Amino acid sequence: MSQVPKLSPEQVNQALKALPDWAAVGEAIQRTYQFNDFVTSMKFVSQVAIHAEQVQHHPDLLIRYSRVTVTLATHDAGGISAKDMESARAYDAMALGLPCQAPVVPLPAKPRKKK
């Protein structure tokens, strides 16, 4: 299995400009989707699961009735990689086809610790 390169903080910030509803949270990116109801949330989660299996890149999911929080990190890279950005774009496209309320604004990112 090949090592997936981790993005630098600058690369993450640049990539997130094209994903305005996503935020860096530690060594991951995260977004909360707000749907109209629980059934729609579960439709979205089902689509995410199918995509994740196809690309073998699985997000952490938190389901709260009509809200679904998606957290992406690449464990092989030890943080955020291009695979996370690709999955975020795919999930945003999936959500566009479902009845949604306004997107939930992500919490401000915590400052990254310098190593």
Reported as a single tens digit per residue, the pLDDT across 5-32 is 999 999 999 999 999 999 999 999 999 9
Please say whether the beta carbons of 91 and 68 come within 8 A.
no
The domain in which residue 55 lies consists of: 9-96
Tally the domains of the chain: 1
Work out the burial of residue 12: count CB atoms within 10 Å of its CB; fewer than 13 is exposed, 13-18 middle, 19 or more buried: buried
Is residue 63 assigned to a domain? yes
pTM across the whole model:
0.84
Q: What is the pLDDT of residues 54-74, one digit of tens each?
A: 999 999 999 999 999 999 999
Domain assignment of residue 113, yes or no: no
Domain assignment present for residue 87? The answer is yes
DSSP-derived secondary structure for 19-78: -TT-EEETTEEEEEEEBSSHHHHHHHHHHHHHHHHHHT---EEEEETTEEEEEE-BTTTT
Question: In this structure, how many other beta carbons lie within 10 angstroms of the beta carbon of residue 107?
Answer: 10
42-46, 74-78, 90-94: least confident range: 74-78
